[in-house]
Homo-oligomer: A and B are copies of this chain.
Amino acid sequence: MATMAEDGLVIAGRRFGGRLLLGSAGYPNQQVLLDAVQAADPAMVTVAVRRISLAGYAESLVDVLAGRVLLPNTAGCTTVRDAVLTAELGREALGTDWVKLELIGDNETLYPDVEQLLRATEELVGKGFTVLPYCTDDPVVCRKLADAGAAAVMPLGAPIGTGLGVVNPYMIERICVTSAVPVILDAGIGTASDAARAMELGCAGVLLNTAVARARDPVRMAAAMAAAVHAGRDAHLAGRIPVRTQAEPSSPQLGLLGS
């Protein structure tokens, strides 16, 4: 299979080798995680600071992923104070000031609390962090996050773990067109075509976890996701045909036999 020269994801001035970000939670075991990471070859691997920080397990996960770019996240945080503290723990534990900011407002939908998210972003940017906030598919929130100094915005495709894909493609596309910072689709991806679709809408990257970790064969799904992100990126750059509701022959009708 031919693929085009990779055109590169750049966030906060740093260039990455791919456009897929992979979460590290929920795999059947650590070997499967490792194999999936190898199959996906992601730009970054996200790790939950709260899990890293637990002695023992922490070192092990970080050791296991040695050589990978790790992105600590604040999964499970529900207040600005909690998220800021967790980000600081992550900085210390992993030696990076990059953080995926999660600030959850609802335990059922795991939707972010965008009001607090804006405040936490401001505060963390003020403390020198490179902040990638997980947010809603709301173009106003995305613009405000960028204005507050977020290095990228990470709108959801659908609630975490649902596998519904990109429920509101109109708004994701709109955010991609207008955002001053890279847009990483985060959450909701269920299968490869969802990841491709996110990229086709103009996203700079895709972050996913459950779709790989809980697939029947996580390693094969990791490979599928990597190929899908490439495919979607290329399709975006290639400029798809418009959607028509009327058929149009691919083989021209001119020069038909006997005509």
Contacts and interface: CB of A to CB of B under 8 A. Distances in A.
Interface stretch (A63-71, A110-118, A124-132): A110-118
Interface in A195-216: 195-197, 200, 209-211, 213-216
Interface in A140-181: 140-141, 143-144, 158-164, 167-168, 170-171, 173-174, 178
Contact of A174 (B108, B194, B214): B108
Interface residues of A, number: 109
Given A115-B115, A234-B221, A256-B76, A2 B158 contact: no
Interface of A: 1-4, 18, 23, 25-26, 38-41, 48, 50-51, 53-54, 73, 75-76, 82, 85-86, 89, 105-106, 108-115, 118, 136, 138-141, 143-144, 158-164, 167-168, 170-171, 173-174, 178, 190-197, 200, 209-211, 213-218, 220-228, 230-235, 237-253, 255-257
17 contacts: A73-B251, A76-B256, A109-B247, A110-B247, A110-B249, A111-B247, A115-B115, A163-B241, A163-B242, A164-B245, A168-B168, A192-B232, A211-B240, A215-B239, A220-B234, A221-B240, A224-B233
